[in-house]
Amino acid sequence: MKMKSNTVILHTAALFIMPLQLMFSIFLLLRGHDEPGGGFIAGLVAASAFVLYAFSFGAESTRKLLRVAPRDLLAAGLLFGLASTIPSLLSGQPALTAHWWEVPLPGDGYLKLSTPLIFDIGVYLAVLGTIMIFVVGLMESDE
Amino acid sequence: MLLAVLSGFLLAAFAPLLTRMAGKSIGWLLAVLPASLTVYFASFIPQIQGGDALLIEYTWMPGLDISLNFLLDGLSLVFALLISGIGTFILIYAGSYLKGHPNLNRFYVIMLCFMASMLGLVLSDNLITLFVFWELTSITSYMLIGFNHEDMDARKCALQGLFVTVAGGLALMAGLILLAVMTGSYSLHEILNSSEALGSHGLYTAALICILAGTFTKSAQTPFHFWLPNAMAAPTPVSAYLHSATMVKAGVYLMARLNPAMSDGELWGQVLMLFGGATMLVGAYFAFSSTGIKKVLAYSTVMALGTLTLLIGVGTELAMTAFVCFLVAHSLYKGALFMIAGALDHETGTKDITRMGGLRHKMPMTALFGCLAALSLAGLPPLFGFIAKELLFEAVLEAPFWSTAATLAAVVSAMLVVGVAGLVAVKPFFGKPGNTPKDPHDAPLGMLAGPAVLSVIALLFGLLPFIPQNAVLLAAMQAVYGQPIDTYLSLWHGINLPLMLSGVSLLAGIGLLTLWPRLQPGLYAVNTAASRFGPEAGYFKVMEGITHIASWQTRVLQNGVLGMYLLIMVAITFGLTGYTLITRYGLHLSLQLGDSHFYEWGIALLLVVSAVFASSTHSRLGSVASMGVLGFAVALTFILFSAPDLGITQLLVETLTVILLVLVLFKLPEFVNLSSPFERYRDLTVAVFAGVVMVLVVLATLDIQYFESISSYYIENSAPLAYGRNIVNVILVDYRALDTLGEIFVLSLAALGVLSMLKLKAEDQHKP
């Protein structure tokens, strides 16, 4: 059977909902350190956005939308996770010791950058990559 | 020093590129590295000449007590010089011997790695580091023996060598750890310098057995000697290097290295003498009764390894002198002879010595150096081999125990070795011209350089023995003996008992050699008949047994029925948990349901109903959907008890799980009930049991608290220390980031597993 829906409602809805979901996932990722959220949850939300897209437009167009192979997303996630250990190793501390940088922004605010954030991005990408491998892979094995 | 040891690995990385660029002269080019290493190691001679040991320290994993310290004393320097010195000529030789071989680049990569591992092995001060290098030599030698990997036989022999040496390696690891437990240190120089008597320690025997299991397998002692002749499937440069001077001597090195620490127990000397003596005789006998030139040399190496072990076992000052001289003499002549054997094989096209003869006319230079090396093997003056053999006789004559038996064994093996030397020198080069497949010429320069230099060194050392003695040999003897040694090497000791024994064994050996053409077929028949009961047959029996056990346990445990896997895992996990809970804690049911709200009852009801429905329905879609309901109800519980992160995660995971299940669902065949009622009731029992145990565990954890909960620490410190108010996230990405890192790697592995399975299936379908 073909895993592609032809309903107009789903198509239209997916086009509207998906960007919102992706933005929401970024929002969850960035706020995660202080409020409910974080890389894992955000990765799941992003994955469900792409899953919705895949259900309405098929696996092939999802691959095109992603631009990179899900496998590479996974690899990038692992690399981010490992990269977050570099600052601590360079400064001779035990691996994964957190480092924080505050980048001043125009106006009063400042941006909190940190190795835990890099790490969280790694988790985000790994979770997204894993689920996309499952979903895209399973859908393609149909076709 | 670190660079010197690891430079082989570095060069190995560039070897393929260099092989492509340098073309024919690659052997000469790569040989620059071992040659300069030889010079480098030789530059340490003045420092360690007096018997001092240099310790060069590099930290590696200080937390685990593992260092990259290098210990340089007489013994390790002798080995380092042999490894890099002979290595130089082997690389040159290989360039010529394997000229135009399509896999020459790979050969050099592995060979250089092997050389570096061997250097690391003999120079390491730390037992763990030593063991790592030890295993690296096993692995690289496996790849070298199986270099002609398209040949089934070569693969089999390589695997045999690997299994035997790695099995021994496992024992060795245990032995080294026991040694460290006994002495309280992983550092060789601390172990050697500690005054503690190990012989009376309770773990001494266990450590001794384990260490010797490692060294005996590596150094091909009887009954593990069978892998070494089989390893002759390797290209000749490999045999000349690994099976003469280096890898097989690793075991001997370790025994010599540990001798000062271990020799105060009586068992050490007895075991070494027993196995060494037996190996010596077995090796000499089989060398004499073989016809392939490489087999002859391989068995004579077994003989030499046995002799070295025997000498360590004798353990006197004289024995240590003999040990070091015999070690050096053997490396020189055996390396040269193997290279000569390769040259003969290369030029004549056969390995069978019965087909060779009169080659001295066509290959004069090869004949000259071959005979020189063979004279050293036979132990004739004025070569270094003669000094070594005289010392051997002297040492066994003065052995503190079993002197007569050891002397007898030494004489018999010396006799056979004279015959063997004749086989490799007289048989091919003298007598009537043989009938060889190829028309022979003298070997090219690259193949002659090694034998020439090594045999001339053997001659020089024999004529001027004080040069090597003062340079390193004395220091090496002291390192093996553990105390200062005062000795003087010389070619002429006057007319004494050892000299007479030499004479007797020489005459008997010549006699044997003339009888060889008549004896050999008979001996061969006897050997073939006896091999059914030999240790190699035992090896095959053991391997067969392992295969049987493996297929039996696969049939029973890994039978492919997923339901069975689940059943076993759940039953065992909860059986053990329940058992522990009941025996340690007992049954306490204390449920207070007074302050529960009606919506909590609602969720609980939803949970139960959806679980019952999921397991009893005949519709897969319905089952999946009700599992989803179950998951959402769990998420609701999380949210009710104020764990929003968990709740959100659970919701998302449940959603995606249902989607994934639905994707899979359509591929499954129609639902059919295959299990019998008995199986279903059994599964139900196990499931209910697991549930009950889980409930009891949860109730127990609520009831008992062995220590204060850690959550207050997180609550207090997460904002000031980790700049985050979401404790769950702070734990995930900061406090326990290493765990999370591990988890995303596990996740990735699972994803890759799924990916490969999907791909496998897709490829299956594309097949016609």
Q: B387-398, pLDDT tens digit by residue? A: 999 899 999 998
pLDDT over 70 (residue B423): yes
Q: Do B747 and A36 touch (CB under 8 A)?
A: no
For residue B198, what are the CA distances in angstroms to B268, B488, B633, B749? 11, 31, 65, 47
Q: B46-84, pLDDT tens digit by residue? A: 888 877 888 888 888 777 778 888 999 889 999 999 999
Chain B residues with beta carbon closer than 8 angstroms to that of A41: 645, 648-649, 652
Least confident range from B162-171, B212-221, B280-289, B487-496: namely: B487-496
pLDDT band at residue B766 under the 50/70/90 scheme: low
pLDDT band at residue A143 under the 50/70/90 scheme: low
Chain B residues with beta carbon closer than 8 angstroms to that of A38: 645, 726, 728-729, 732-733
CB B233 within 8 A of CB B154: yes
Any chain B CB within 8 A of the CB of A58?
no
Q: What is the pLDDT of residue B569?
A: 92
Rounded Cα distance, B584 and B603, in Å: 33
For residue B606, what are the CA distances in angstroms to B174, B602, B613, B650? 56, 6, 10, 16
Across the interface, of B648, B737, B755, the residue whose CB is closest to A119 is: B737
Q: Do A32 and B726 touch (CB under 8 A)?
A: yes
pLDDT over 90 (residue B707): no
Tokens of B379: 């132990």
Q: B709-737, pLDDT tens digit by residue? A: 788 888 888 878 778 888 888 888 888 88
Q: What is the pLDDT of residue B303?
A: 93
Q: What is the pLDDT of residue B593?
A: 75
pLDDT over 70 (residue B768): no
How large is the average pLDDT for residues A110-115? 80
CB B279 within 8 A of CB B225: yes
- Sign of torsion over alpha carbons B327, B328, B329, B333: positive
Q: Mark which residues 88-117 of A lie under 8 Å from B by CB.
A: 95-96, 98, 100, 112, 114, 116-117
Q: What is the pLDDT of residue B37?
A: 94
H-helix or E-strand spanning residue B746? helix B737-766
pLDDT over 60 (residue A2): no
Rounded Cα distance, B597 and B253, in Å: 76
pLDDT over 70 (residue B762): no
Q: What is the pLDDT of residue A8?
A: 84
Q: B303-347, pLDDT tens digit by residue? A: 999 999 999 999 888 899 999 999 999 999 999 999 998 888 888
Tokens of A143: 């076709």
Considering chain B, what is the average pLDDT of its residues? Answer: 87
pLDDT band at residue B429 under the 50/70/90 scheme: confident
Question: For chain B, how big is the Rg over CA atoms in Å?
Answer: 34
Q: A43-54, pLDDT tens digit by residue? A: 999 999 999 999
Q: Which residue of B has its CA nearest to A116?
A: B733
pLDDT band at residue A1 under the 50/70/90 scheme: very low
CB atoms within 10 A of CB B554: 11
The full DSSP string for B216-256 is HHHTT-TTSTTHHHHGGGS-HHHHHIIIIISHHHHHHHHHH
Percent of chain B with pLDDT over 70: 99
Rounded to a whole number, what is the distance in Å from the CA of B621 to chain A's nearest CA? Answer: 16
Amino acid identity, position A84: S
Q: What is the pLDDT of residue B765?
A: 60
Q: Do B751 and A81 touch (CB under 8 A)?
A: no
Q: Do A100 and B666 touch (CB under 8 A)?
A: no
Least confident range from A93-97, B259-263, B272-276, B652-656: namely: A93-97
Rounded Cα distance, B569 and B686, in Å: 10
Any chain A CB within 8 A of the CB of B52?
no
Q: What is the pLDDT of residue B308?
A: 94
pLDDT band at residue B426 under the 50/70/90 scheme: confident
pLDDT over 90 (residue B578): yes
Chain B residues with beta carbon closer than 8 angstroms to that of A140: 758, 762
Which residues partner with B292 through β-bridges?
B352
pTM above 0.80, yes or no: no
pLDDT over 90 (residue B36): yes
Considering chain A, what is the average pLDDT of its residues? Answer: 86
Across the interface, of B659, B740, B744, the residue whose CB is closest to A51 is: B659
Any chain B CB within 8 A of the CB of A143?
no
Question: For chain A, how big is the Rg over CA atoms in Å?
Answer: 18
Rounded to a whole number, what is the distance in Å from the CA of A106 to chain B's nearest CA? Answer: 22
Rounded Cα distance, B268 and B313, in Å: 7
Any chain A CB within 8 A of the CB of B663?
yes
Least confident range from A65-69, A121-125, B553-557, B668-672: namely: B668-672
Q: B344-388, pLDDT tens digit by residue? A: 888 888 888 888 888 888 888 889 999 999 999 988 888 898 999
- Interface A-B, measured as beta-carbon pairs within 8 A, has a size of 130
Q: B445-461, pLDDT tens digit by residue? A: 888 899 999 999 999 99
Q: What is the pLDDT of residue B607?
A: 93
Q: B173-196, pLDDT tens digit by residue? A: 999 999 999 888 889 988 888 777
Q: Mark which residues 709-768 of B lie under 8 Å from A by CB.
A: 722-726, 728-730, 732-734, 737-738, 740-741, 744-745, 747-748, 750-752, 754-755, 758, 761-762
The backbone region for B554, taken as left when phi is positive above 0, alpha when psi lies in -120 to 50, beta otherwise, is alpha
pLDDT over 80 (residue A106): no
